[in-house]
Amino acid sequence: MSTPSSYTSASLYVGDLSPDVTEANLFEIFNQIGSVASIRVCRDAITRRSLGYAYVNFHTAQDAERALESLNNSGIKGRPCRIMWSQRDPSLRKSGKGNVFIKNLDKKIDHKSLFDTFAQFGTILSCKIELDEQNESKGYGYIQYATQEAADKAIDKVNAKMLNGKKVYVGAFIPRKERIAENASKKFTNIYVKNLDEKVEEESLKNLFTPFGVIKSAVIMKDEQGKSKGFGFVNFENPDEAETACKQLNDSEYEGKIIYVGRAQKKIEREAELRGKFEQMKMEHMTKYQGVNLYIKNLDDDMDDTKLRGIFDPFGTITSAKVMCDSKGAPKGFGFVCFSTPEEATKAVTEMNGKIVGSKPLYVALAQRKELRRAQLEAQFAQRAKMATRLPGPAMYNGQSGPMFYAQPPGQPGFVYPQMVPRGRFPPGPFQPMPNYVMVAGASGRGGNMKHGRGGGPIPGGPRRGMKQPGGGPQGQPAVPLPMGPAGPVPIDQAIPPNAFAQMLATLSPDEAKRLCGEKIYPIVTKSQPSLAGKITGMILESAYVEELVRLIDDNDALNEKIQEALKVLKEHAEKTGQPIDSDQTQ
Q: Is the pLDDT of residue 474 over 90?
A: no
Highest mean pLDDT among 302-316, 381-395, 435-449: 302-316
pLDDT confidence of residue 397: 44
* Strand ranges across the sheet with 36-43: 36-43, 50-58, 11-15, 82-85
pLDDT confidence of residue 545: 74
Q: Residues 413-446: pLDDT tens digits?
A: 333 333 333 333 333 333 333 333 333 333 333 3
Map residue 292 onto helix, strand or coil. Answer: coil
Helix, strand, coil % over all residues of the chain, rounded to 5: 35, 25, 40
CB atoms within 10 A of CB 492: 15
Average pLDDT over residues 311-321: 91
Closest CA relative to residue 323, chosen from 309, 342, 304, 341 = 304
Q: Is the pLDDT of residue 580 over 70?
A: no
Q: Is the dihedral of CA 182, 185, 188, 191 positive or negative?
A: positive
pLDDT confidence of residue 493: 43
Closest CA relative to residue 38, chosen from 29, 48, 49, 27 = 27
Distances (CA, A) of 571 to 26, 52, 170, 413, 576: 22, 20, 45, 42, 9
Average pLDDT over residues 489-498: 44
Average pLDDT over residues 114-125: 86
CB atoms within 10 A of CB 463: 20
d(CA 24, CA 15): 16
**Domains of the chain with CATH codes:** 11-170 (3.30.70.330), 189-263 (3.30.70.330), 293-367 (3.30.70.330), 371-403+422-431+490-587 (1.10.1900.10)
Q: What angle do CA 463, 469, 473 make, to 5 degrees?
A: 125
Q: Residues 62-106: pLDDT tens digits?
A: 999 899 888 988 889 888 888 888 876 666 656 667 889 999 888
Q: Residues 533-570: pLDDT tens digits?
A: 888 888 888 777 777 788 888 888 888 888 888 888 88
What is the C-alpha end-to-end distance of the chain, expressed in Å? 44
The β-bridge partners of 297 are: 334, 363
Closest CA relative to residue 441, chosen from 472, 403, 404 = 472
Beta-carbon contacts of residue 187 (< 8 Å; ≥ 6 apart): 239, 240, 243
Average pLDDT, the chain: 75
Map residue 7 onto helix, strand or coil. Answer: helix
- Band (pLDDT 50/70/90 cuts) for residue 471 is very low
Distances (CA, A) of 336 to 286, 326, 345, 387: 15, 15, 11, 36
Distances (CA, A) of 211 to 197, 203, 300: 20, 14, 66
Closest CA relative to residue 551, chosen from 289, 263, 356 = 356
The β-bridge partners of 41 are: 54
DSSP H or E segment with residue 406: strand 404-407
Q: What phi and psi, each to the nearest 5 degrees, are found at residue 159? A: -60, 135
Strand-pair category, 253-254 with 257-258: antiparallel
Strand-pair category, 228-236 with 215-222: antiparallel
d(CA 587, CA 270): 50
pLDDT confidence of residue 434: 36
Strand-pair category, 36-43 with 50-58: antiparallel
Average pLDDT over residues 213-222: 90
Q: What phi and psi, each to the nearest 5 degrees, are found at residue 30? A: -80, -25
- Band (pLDDT 50/70/90 cuts) for residue 110 is confident
Beta-carbon contacts of residue 370 (< 8 Å; ≥ 6 apart): none
Q: Residues 352-386: pLDDT tens digits?
A: 998 888 888 899 988 877 767 777 666 766 666 66
Average pLDDT over residues 204-216: 91
**Burial class of residue 92 (count of CB atoms within 10 Å of its CB; 0-12, 13-18, 19+):** middle
The distance from CA 291 to its chain's CA centroid, rounded to whole angstroms, is 22
543 compared with 333, residue with greater pLDDT: 333
Contact predicate 142/101, CB 8 Å: yes
Average pLDDT over residues 312-337: 90
Q: Where are the beta strands (DSSP E) in 342-393?
A: 356-357, 360-361, 363-366
Beta-carbon contacts of residue 308 (< 8 Å; ≥ 6 apart): 296, 299, 321, 322, 323, 335, 337
pLDDT confidence of residue 6: 47
d(CA 225, CA 148): 52
d(CA 421, CA 402): 8
Q: Residue 102 gets which letter from DSSP?
A: E
Map residue 266 onto helix, strand or coil. Answer: coil
Average pLDDT over residues 278-284: 73
pLDDT confidence of residue 478: 43
pLDDT confidence of residue 458: 41
d(CA 377, CA 47): 9
